[in-house]
Structure 1
Amino acid sequence: MTTHEQSTAAFWDERYGATERVWSGEPNAVLVQEVADLAPGAALDVGSGEGGDAVWLAHRGWRVTAIDVSRVGLERVAARAQAEGVADRVTTVPVDLFAEAVPGEHDLVTMHFMQLPGADRPRLYRAVAGAVAPGGTLLIVGHDPEGMPPEAGQHHPADMFATAEEVVGELGDALEGWTVVVAERRGRDAVQPDGRPRFLYDAVLRARRPM
């Protein structure tokens, strides 16, 4: 299977449909760390998955547009938002980043662990950055190449992992005039699918667009 096939609606619909839950349901740790000092507004959650980040943001007063290639995943986002009483603050929109425009302008645009092929990253990152409103924040978090377990290569080629500095470089002049607040490798404790603990590094980019 190619890396592009792993980014299709068919792939993710099948993966979500095969199990009751794929992800933990908890918000990503870096999102919690980096959004704490931001006033709630309009947020775009890119690659929303099953909605852990989107619902967490909604509970904190954000109006969230959750986009994902998988309609099955988005159905889970909507169902969770309804169950937790924040459905009025979460809108789900199916979007294929490889073929469709990123919708709207938002005070916060957040994208976590969408491991993209290296050849496509600059174009897609720039499209995502273009959805940040003046004065808004872009938060991109991915797996840093440092310390990735050997088995990661079974699912993702090496070029799908980038450092924060590489992400800044790939965004290039799309960040002209922006303030790069954070561009760093950040460590965290994680748990492997078999339950064993592992220490991983995230590549964290937080940037603010000028007014």
Structure 2
Amino acid sequence: MTALAIADGEGRNGAWLAEQGLKVMTTDIAPRAVQKARALAARRGVSIDAHVVDLDAWVWPEQAFDAVVAIFIQFAPPAARDRIFARMKAAVKPDGVILLQGYRPEQIAYGTGGPSEAENLYTEALLRDAFNDFDILHLESHDSDLSEGAGHRGASALIDMVARRRSTPT
């Protein structure tokens, strides 16, 4: 199986996916992060195909991946987010899945990391609408404790989604 991990930073998600046996392409806009992703994969004894990419300018592969993974990619304002979501959907093969995790608007009050712009945060309604042409297999809002370094530590307002591209349009 193949996976695309977008805006993957230093490659934790991409390396983990490779450890599960997937052939992984990982992207980030920061060259230093991509270097660190490659080094992490090497330390873990796995291979990833890591690229420096501006997601809004990149020519995305179409119907190329069994899974597209987007974990905390909430840097994009709504118009750019909509373009990225559309390209994520086009990149996944029929019957492939999109795995997404992010922060909900309640996160701002927690002050434990994540974007400070409420418009960049996800709600269940936003994700249902954005992925209404996919089968949403899992969509859950929850509060969990994170320990992802100094910038993301403590109680967090999260949302998770797994959506499958339909093999035939309805």
In the superposition, the TM-score normalised over structure 2's length comes to 0.85
Q: Give percent identity, aligned residues only.
A: 27
Distance 1:69 1:194 in 2: 19
Distance 1:194 1:180, change over 3 A: closer
Q: Hey, what does 1:162 align to over in structure 2?
A: 122
Q: Hey, what does 2:26 align to over in structure 1?
A: 66
SS in 2 for 1:130: helix
C-alpha contact (below 8 Å) 1:182/1:207 kept by paired residues:
yes
Gaps of 5+ in 2: none
Q: Does 2:153 align with 1:193? A: no
C-alpha contact (below 8 Å) 1:187/1:200 kept by paired residues:
yes
Q: Hey, what does 1:56 align to over in structure 2?
A: 16
Q: Does 2:72 align with 1:113? A: yes
Q: Hey, what does 1:181 align to over in structure 2?
A: 137
Distance 1:194 1:79, change over 3 A: closer
Distance 2:144 2:19 in 1: 24
Q: Hey, what does 1:19 align to over in structure 2?
A: none
Report how far residue 161 of structure 1 moved.
1.0
C-alpha contact (below 8 Å) 2:112/2:155 kept by paired residues:
no
C-alpha contact (below 8 Å) 2:115/2:121 kept by paired residues:
no
Q: Hey, what does 2:161 align to over in structure 1?
A: 205
Whichever residue aligns with residue 27 of structure 2, its letter is: I
Whichever residue aligns with residue 198 of structure 1, its letter is: G
By relative contact order (CA 8 Å, sep 6+), the higher-ranking structure is 2
Distance 1:154 1:182 in 2: 22
Q: Hey, what does 1:44 align to over in structure 2?
A: 4
SS in 1 for 2:126: helix
**How many residues of Structure 1 are paired with residues of Structure 2 in the alignment?**
164
Distance 1:61 1:154, change over 3 A: closer
Whichever residue aligns with residue 154 of structure 2, its letter is: R
Distance 1:194 1:61, change over 3 A: closer
SS in 2 for 1:148: helix
SS in 2 for 1:83: helix
Distance 1:43 1:77 in 2: 15
- Structure 1 or 2, whichever has the larger Rg, is 1
Report how far residue 75 of structure 1 moved.
0.7
Whichever residue aligns with residue 109 of structure 1, its letter is: V
C-alpha contact (below 8 Å) 1:165/1:183 kept by paired residues:
no
Gaps of 5+ in 1: 1-40
Distance 1:86 1:169, change over 3 A: same
Distance 1:188 1:118, change over 3 A: same
Q: Hey, what does 2:53 align to over in structure 1?
A: 95
C-alpha contact (below 8 Å) 1:95/1:102 kept by paired residues:
no
Distance 2:65 2:141 in 1: 26
C-alpha contact (below 8 Å) 1:121/1:170 kept by paired residues:
no
Question: More helix by proportion, 1 or 2?
Answer: 1
Question: More strand by proportion, 1 or 2?
Answer: 2
RMSD value, Cα: 2.4
